[in-house]
Amino acid sequence: MTLASMARKYEARKRPEGERQATSAMIASLAAEGYDTVNAPFGSALIEAARKDDRIVGLTADLGKYTDLHVFANAMPDRFYQMGMAEQVLMSAAAGLAREGFLPFATTYAVFASRRAYDFIAMAIAEENLPVKIVCALPGLTTGYGPSHQATEDIAIFRGLPNMTIIDPCDADDIVGMVPAMCAHEGPVYARLLRGKVPSVLKKHKPDYRFQLGKAQLIRDGRDVLVISTGLMTMRALDAALKLAEDKVDVAVLHCPTIKPLDLDTIATEAARSGRLVVTAENHTVMGGLGEAVAGGLLSRGIAPKFRMIGLPDQFLEAGALPTLHDMYGISVDKVAARIRAWL
Predicted TM-score (pTM) of the model is 0.92
The kind and range of the H/E element at 105 are strand 103-109
What single letter denotes the amino acid at residue 72?
F
pLDDT at 32: 80
User: Is the bond leading into 261 cis (omega within 30 degrees of zero)?
Assistant: yes
In sequence order, the 6+-apart residues with CB closer than 8 A to the CB of 173 are 200, 201, 202, 203, 209, 210, 211
Q: What number of CA atoms fall less than 13 Å from residue 244's CA on the CB side?
A: 29
Contact of 24 with 321, CB cutoff 8 Å: yes
Per the prediction, the chain carries an average pLDDT of: 93
Residue-level pLDDT at 13: 42
Q: What percent of the chain has pLDDT over 90?
A: 90
pLDDT above 50 (res 159): yes
CATH fold match for the domains 37-199 and 214-343? yes
Predicted local distance difference test score (pLDDT) of residue 33: 82
C-beta separation of 69 from 102 below 8 A:
no
Which pLDDT score is estimated for 19? 39
Work out the angle between the directed axes of helices 41-52 and 172-184 (0-180°, nearest 10).
30
pLDDT digits (tens, 9 = 90+) for 270-280: 999 989 999 99
* H-run or E-run covering 108: strand 103-109
Could you tell me the CA-to-CA distances from 23 to 320, 321, 323 in Å, in that order?
9, 6, 7
Distances in whole angstroms, Cα of residue 254 to Cα of each of 93, 148, 170, 208: 37, 31, 12, 15
**Which alpha helices (DSSP H) does the chain contain, by range?**
3-9, 41-52, 69-75, 87-99, 110-111, 118-120, 154-159, 172-184, 202-205, 232-245, 264-271, 290-300, 322-328, 333-343
Is residue 1 over pLDDT 80?
A: no
Give the mean model confidence (pLDDT) for residues 169-181: 98
pLDDT above 60 for 309: yes
Q: Which CATH superfamily is domain 37-199 in?
A: Thiamin diphosphate (ThDP)-binding fold, Pyr/PP domains (3.40.50.970)
Whole-angstrom distance, CA of residue 274 vs CA of residue 295? 16
Q: What is the CATH number of domain 214-343?
A: 3.40.50.920
Q: Which pLDDT belongs to residue 5?
A: 52
What confidence score (pLDDT) does residue 274 get?
Answer: 87
- Going from N- to C-terminal start, the domains of the chain cover 37-199, 214-343
pLDDT of 12 above 80: no
243 neighbors 271 (Cβ within 8 angstroms): no
**Separation CA 181–CA 145 (nearest Å):** 32
Q: What percent of the chain has pLDDT over 70?
A: 91
Residue 3 pLDDT grade (very low, low, confident, very high; cuts 50, 70, 90): low
Asked whether 98 and 132 are in contact (CB, 8 A), the reply is yes
**pLDDT over 50 at 9, yes or no:** no
| pLDDT tops 80 at residue 8 | no
Measured at the CA of 110, the angle between CA 215 and CA 195, to 5 degrees, comes to 75
**Residue-wise pLDDT tens digits, 192-227:** 999 999 999 999 999 999 999 999 999 999 999 999
The predicted-structure confidence for 60-81, as pLDDT tens digits, reads as follows 999 999 999 999 999 999 999 9
Report the DSSP pairing between strands 103-109 and 133-137: parallel
Could you tell me if 114 and 160 are in contact, meaning their C-beta atoms sit under 8 angstroms apart? no
Examine the pLDDT at 16 and tell me if it is beyond 50. Answer: no
DSSP letter for each residue of 216-284: -EEEE--SSEEEEE-THHHHHHHHHHHHHHTTT--EEEEE--EEES--HHHHHHHHTSTT-EEEEEEEE
